[in-house]
Amino acid sequence: MKSILQILCVASVLASPLALRSQDVAEITITADKVQFLYDVKEFTVKPAQKVKLTLINPADSVTKQPHNLLIVKPGKDMAVGMASNNAISDPAFLTTKNAIPESEDILFHTKLVQPGTQDTIEFTAPTEAGDYPYICTYPGHWAIMKGVMKVTP
Ligand SMILES: [Cu+2]
Protein backbone atom coordinates (compact mmCIF):
# COMPACT_ATOMS: atom_id res chain seq x y z
CA MET A 1 0.00 0.00 0.00
CA LYS A 2 1.42 3.36 -1.02
CA SER A 3 1.97 5.97 1.62
CA ILE A 4 -0.05 9.17 1.55
CA LEU A 5 3.17 11.08 0.88
CA GLN A 6 3.96 9.03 -2.22
CA ILE A 7 0.48 9.56 -3.57
CA LEU A 8 0.69 13.30 -2.95
CA CYS A 9 4.08 13.50 -4.70
CA VAL A 10 2.77 11.69 -7.77
CA ALA A 11 -0.33 13.85 -7.81
CA SER A 12 1.62 17.10 -7.64
CA VAL A 13 3.96 16.04 -10.46
CA LEU A 14 0.99 15.14 -12.64
CA ALA A 15 -0.78 18.38 -11.81
CA SER A 16 2.09 20.71 -12.68
CA PRO A 17 4.28 19.59 -15.55
CA LEU A 18 7.07 22.10 -15.94
CA ALA A 19 6.16 23.11 -19.50
CA LEU A 20 2.70 24.19 -18.46
CA ARG A 21 3.66 26.05 -15.34
CA SER A 22 3.45 29.55 -16.86
CA GLN A 23 -0.09 28.75 -18.00
CA ASP A 24 -1.15 27.70 -14.52
CA VAL A 25 -3.81 29.60 -12.68
CA ALA A 26 -2.34 31.76 -9.91
CA GLU A 27 -4.45 31.11 -6.83
CA ILE A 28 -4.20 33.98 -4.36
CA THR A 29 -5.93 34.14 -1.00
CA ILE A 30 -6.00 37.42 0.90
CA THR A 31 -7.49 37.70 4.37
CA ALA A 32 -8.58 40.94 5.97
CA ASP A 33 -7.37 41.64 9.48
CA LYS A 34 -10.06 41.12 12.12
CA VAL A 35 -9.44 44.48 13.77
CA GLN A 36 -7.25 46.73 11.65
CA PHE A 37 -7.97 47.88 8.11
CA LEU A 38 -5.25 45.70 6.61
CA TYR A 39 -4.81 42.77 4.22
CA ASP A 40 -2.49 39.95 5.30
CA VAL A 41 -0.93 39.84 1.81
CA LYS A 42 0.78 43.11 0.84
CA GLU A 43 2.20 41.90 -2.47
CA PHE A 44 1.88 39.05 -4.95
CA THR A 45 3.33 38.40 -8.38
CA VAL A 46 1.71 37.02 -11.51
CA LYS A 47 2.76 36.72 -15.14
CA PRO A 48 1.33 38.88 -17.93
CA ALA A 49 -1.98 37.42 -19.16
CA GLN A 50 -1.88 34.72 -16.48
CA LYS A 51 -5.22 33.46 -15.23
CA VAL A 52 -5.72 34.54 -11.64
CA LYS A 53 -8.17 33.22 -9.05
CA LEU A 54 -8.26 35.59 -6.11
CA THR A 55 -10.18 35.04 -2.90
CA LEU A 56 -10.81 37.73 -0.32
CA ILE A 57 -11.70 36.34 3.10
CA ASN A 58 -13.27 38.55 5.74
CA PRO A 59 -12.99 36.72 9.07
CA ALA A 60 -16.01 36.76 11.30
CA ASP A 61 -15.89 39.46 13.93
CA SER A 62 -18.97 40.22 15.98
CA VAL A 63 -17.45 43.41 17.41
CA THR A 64 -16.42 45.50 14.42
CA LYS A 65 -18.79 43.91 11.85
CA GLN A 66 -16.57 45.54 9.25
CA PRO A 67 -17.12 44.77 5.55
CA HIS A 68 -14.20 44.97 3.09
CA ASN A 69 -13.69 44.67 -0.64
CA LEU A 70 -10.69 44.48 -2.92
CA LEU A 71 -10.18 46.40 -6.16
CA ILE A 72 -7.23 46.03 -8.48
CA VAL A 73 -6.59 49.32 -10.24
CA LYS A 74 -4.36 50.68 -12.97
CA PRO A 75 -0.76 51.54 -12.00
CA GLY A 76 -0.60 54.72 -9.91
CA LYS A 77 -4.39 55.07 -9.65
CA ASP A 78 -4.96 53.88 -6.06
CA MET A 79 -5.36 57.40 -4.71
CA ALA A 80 -7.68 58.53 -7.52
CA VAL A 81 -9.97 55.52 -7.00
CA GLY A 82 -9.75 55.85 -3.22
CA MET A 83 -10.78 59.49 -3.36
CA ALA A 84 -13.68 58.56 -5.64
CA SER A 85 -14.88 56.12 -2.95
CA ASN A 86 -14.68 58.80 -0.27
CA ASN A 87 -16.79 61.06 -2.46
CA ALA A 88 -19.37 58.35 -3.16
CA ILE A 89 -20.37 57.90 0.50
CA SER A 90 -23.33 60.28 0.10
CA ASP A 91 -24.89 57.83 -2.37
CA PRO A 92 -27.28 55.63 -0.29
CA ALA A 93 -26.68 52.66 -2.60
CA PHE A 94 -22.89 52.86 -2.33
CA LEU A 95 -22.51 50.51 0.64
CA THR A 96 -25.28 48.14 -0.48
CA THR A 97 -25.93 47.34 -4.13
CA LYS A 98 -22.83 49.14 -5.36
CA ASN A 99 -20.53 47.08 -3.08
CA ALA A 100 -18.58 50.25 -2.22
CA ILE A 101 -17.19 50.26 -5.77
CA PRO A 102 -16.87 53.85 -7.04
CA GLU A 103 -17.41 54.66 -10.69
CA SER A 104 -13.97 54.83 -12.26
CA GLU A 105 -12.34 53.71 -15.48
CA ASP A 106 -9.20 53.04 -13.46
CA ILE A 107 -10.70 49.92 -11.82
CA LEU A 108 -9.65 46.69 -13.55
CA PHE A 109 -11.10 43.94 -11.32
CA HIS A 110 -12.97 43.85 -8.04
CA THR A 111 -14.65 41.62 -5.49
CA LYS A 112 -18.03 42.42 -4.04
CA LEU A 113 -18.28 44.01 -0.60
CA VAL A 114 -17.43 41.03 1.61
CA GLN A 115 -19.33 40.89 4.90
CA PRO A 116 -17.69 39.52 8.08
CA GLY A 117 -17.63 35.73 8.10
CA THR A 118 -17.88 35.47 4.32
CA GLN A 119 -15.58 35.50 1.32
CA ASP A 120 -15.63 36.24 -2.40
CA THR A 121 -13.62 34.72 -5.22
CA ILE A 122 -13.00 36.44 -8.53
CA GLU A 123 -11.29 35.10 -11.62
CA PHE A 124 -9.59 37.31 -14.16
CA THR A 125 -6.78 37.43 -16.67
CA ALA A 126 -3.82 39.51 -15.53
CA PRO A 127 -2.94 42.56 -17.65
CA THR A 128 -0.59 41.88 -20.57
CA GLU A 129 1.46 44.92 -19.62
CA ALA A 130 4.06 44.43 -16.88
CA GLY A 131 3.82 46.80 -13.95
CA ASP A 132 2.74 47.36 -10.37
CA TYR A 133 -1.03 47.24 -10.06
CA PRO A 134 -2.25 48.49 -6.66
CA TYR A 135 -5.13 46.81 -4.88
CA ILE A 136 -7.19 48.66 -2.30
CA CYS A 137 -10.28 48.36 -0.14
CA THR A 138 -12.69 51.12 -1.07
CA TYR A 139 -14.88 50.93 1.99
CA PRO A 140 -14.74 54.67 2.74
CA GLY A 141 -11.66 55.62 4.70
CA HIS A 142 -9.85 52.28 4.27
CA TRP A 143 -7.95 52.72 1.00
CA ALA A 144 -5.14 54.84 2.46
CA ILE A 145 -3.86 51.90 4.56
CA MET A 146 -5.76 48.83 3.31
CA LYS A 147 -3.72 48.21 0.20
CA GLY A 148 -1.17 46.04 -1.57
CA VAL A 149 0.42 45.53 -4.97
CA MET A 150 -0.10 42.95 -7.68
CA LYS A 151 3.18 42.79 -9.56
CA VAL A 152 2.88 41.71 -13.18
CA THR A 153 6.29 40.42 -14.21
CA PRO A 154 7.25 38.38 -17.30
CU1 LIG B 1 -11.64 47.61 4.18
Residue 98: inside a domain: yes
pLDDT in tens, 55-93: 999 998 777 889 999 999 999 999 999 999 999 999 999
Tell me if 93 sits within 8 A of 29, measured CB to CB.
no
Residue 115: inside a domain: yes
At residue 64, the pLDDT reads: 80
User: CATH number of the domain that 109 lies in?
Assistant: 2.60.40.420
82 CA → ligand 1 middle, Å: 11
pLDDT in tens, 30-53: 999 998 999 999 999 999 999 999
Residue 77: inside a domain: yes
Residue 5: inside a domain: no
49 CA → ligand 1 middle, Å: 27
127 CA → ligand 1 middle, Å: 24
63 CA → ligand 1 middle, Å: 15
36 CA → ligand 1 middle, Å: 9
pTM metric for this prediction: 0.84
Domain that holds residue 84: 21-152
At residue 128, the pLDDT reads: 97
4 CA → ligand 1 middle, Å: 40
> Total structural domains in the chain?
1
